[in-house]
Amino acid sequence: MLLERSQKIALFENQEDVATRGYQRYSRSLAGSVFLFLVAIVMAWLYPELLAVLVGYIVAAFVFLTMLYGKGGKLKESLDEAPGRIITNATSIGFLLTFGFMVGQFLLGNPPGLLVAIISLILMRQGFSRITGLVNDLKGLYAQRFKLNALFFHGHVLVNEAKKHETNFWSLLQSSQREQWIYDVLKDVVSQPIEKVKVHWWQLGGQDVAAFRVKSFDHEGTQVAENLVKLFNTNRSSLAKHEATLLSGNTPLPTLPLLSVDEIEGLHCHVFEWVPAKKVPQKQVKAARQQMIEMLLSIEPEKNLVSQFKRSRPPLWQRVDDRMLERLRTVAEMLGGEHTSQVQLFGEQQDAIMSRLRELPLTLVNPDLRPNAFLKAENGELLMTHWGRWSLEPVGANWPVQPRQLEQLACALKEAKASRRALRDVRSEDACLAALMFMLEKLYARQDFVEALKLIPRILTYLNMRPQSSKVTA
């Protein structure tokens, strides 16, 4: 009824569930407040001494937690994220102290009546449990206050709340803090003593990842170092760790040298050595993207890196599963034509396709080939500045799948064999098969089922270009 009277359009996903939970929390918190008020009245009538002890403890606990909250630290984070756990411990201590007060009165010879003591214990226990529930409900209402205001109140619009990780991240980027923490990071990285730093924004192109080109100067004003500093927001910590895992190894990569992996107020920070370079012009990005894919084809990943990756992520031949095939078949049946028979044949040949992919050696794939991520050094070398989403895929994966571009894969594979022994027995048909299967998975993930179905005849064509009995030596 309230939602209908507010006369709003759909504001966000699952808004009915949010409204239901919000209303339940409001009603519970209101009922809990009324219950606590009634308990206080009954206790004031039956056992005023115990009520005085309870009120004194609650006030003391509130003041104590407020003081600790003001000092920050882990307790502040706990009260912000899940205050119910702290309140549960506090109410347990309060129940123990008040129970001890009652026992003390019985021992000292000035006890209340037995029935009064029993009723007081029951009310006290129920009151403490309602306090914990009340705090949890109020925390839930406060966290959803912007959405609930927009849902229930006619005059309120939906306001985007500044999230905690965004606030901390952007506060570090402000001029009042930026140079200080960058200086603190670089003073342990730069070999010579530095007096000050000059920070320039470096457009990287990724969300919640800030990059700075930093020049360091000594006390005489002479430049002693130049670095690229990247700061990852908390919701990008997995990308930071993933990038550090790759760049901390011994695999030669087309990237700036990684000097340090640090942490600033819970945010991951990577420091790179800057080399004389400039960004690739927009009109050359397409060629640079193709050149980078060809360069990665000839790089041999470390055995430890391959082993670690296989234990962590499913390979392509496991990601293309029966569920994907069933959904493609459902769409093919609605489209009609030859799509159904092609999907059926694809399912019959699935084991053979996966076997061919499994036999291929793995190659490094970086999907973040954005224009701002490319650098071109003075010696003409192409570099990448962001490796947060790298993966290891069968040779040929991430290669463009246009017919003319797939024809170029054979030439690129031939050149890569000269520097990588693992590729010497790889056939170009198998690499093209991996490229098509990788694209099939990407189209399926985007739910572009029509384009994915168009790839299936080409996949079957490359599958039949080689006898299934022959094997590839990885």
Assess whether pLDDT exceeds 90 at residue 231.
yes
Of 26-30, 129-133, 217-221, 410-414, the least confident: 129-133
pLDDT attached to residue 163? 54
Measured CA to CA, the distance from residue 445 to residue 249 in angstroms comes to 31
pLDDT attached to residue 394? 94
Average pLDDT over residues 15-28: 84
pLDDT attached to residue 80? 74
Average pLDDT over residues 420-434: 91
Measured CA to CA, the distance from residue 347 to residue 66 in angstroms comes to 63
Q: Please give the CATH number for the structural domain made up of 279-463.
A: 3.90.1200
Assess whether pLDDT exceeds 80 at residue 418.
yes
Assess whether pLDDT exceeds 70 at residue 295.
yes
pLDDT attached to residue 354? 92
pLDDT attached to residue 204? 85
Assess whether pLDDT exceeds 80 at residue 112.
no
Q: Which of 310, 301, 186 is nearest to 247 (CA)?
A: 301
Give Rg (Cα) of the chain.
Answer: 32
Query: pTM of the full predicted structure?
Result: 0.73
Task: Return the percentage of the chain with pLDDT > 90, whole number.
Answer: 37
pLDDT digits (tens, 9 = 90+) for 82-101: 787 888 888 888 888 888 88
pLDDT band with cut points at 50, 70 and 90 for residue 214: very high
pLDDT digits (tens, 9 = 90+) for 465-474: 765 444 444 3
pLDDT attached to residue 155? 66
Average pLDDT over residues 141-167: 69
What is the chain's mean pLDDT, rounded? 86
Measured CA to CA, the distance from residue 62 to residue 348 in angstroms comes to 68
Measured CA to CA, the distance from residue 408 to residue 435 in angstroms comes to 12
Assess whether pLDDT exceeds 90 at residue 269.
yes
Average pLDDT over residues 343-367: 92
pLDDT attached to residue 122? 85
Measured CA to CA, the distance from residue 260 to residue 180 in angstroms comes to 17
pLDDT band with cut points at 50, 70 and 90 for residue 81: confident
Encoded tokens for 195 = 């007096």
Of 160-164, 236-240, 311-315, 329-333, the least confident: 160-164
Encoded tokens for 246 = 């790759």
User: How many CB atoms within 10 Å of residue 196?
Assistant: 12
Per domain, the residue ranges of the chain are 2-152, 164-274, 279-463
Encoded tokens for 457 = 């005849």
Measured CA to CA, the distance from residue 362 to residue 365 in angstroms comes to 9
pLDDT attached to residue 273? 93
Encoded tokens for 152 = 């229930």
Higher pLDDT, 12 or 333: 333
Assign a CATH topology to domain 164-274: Phosphorylase Kinase; domain 1 (3.30.200)
Measured CA to CA, the distance from residue 177 to residue 254 in angstroms comes to 32
With beta carbons less than 8 A apart as the criterion, state whether 309 and 431 touch: no
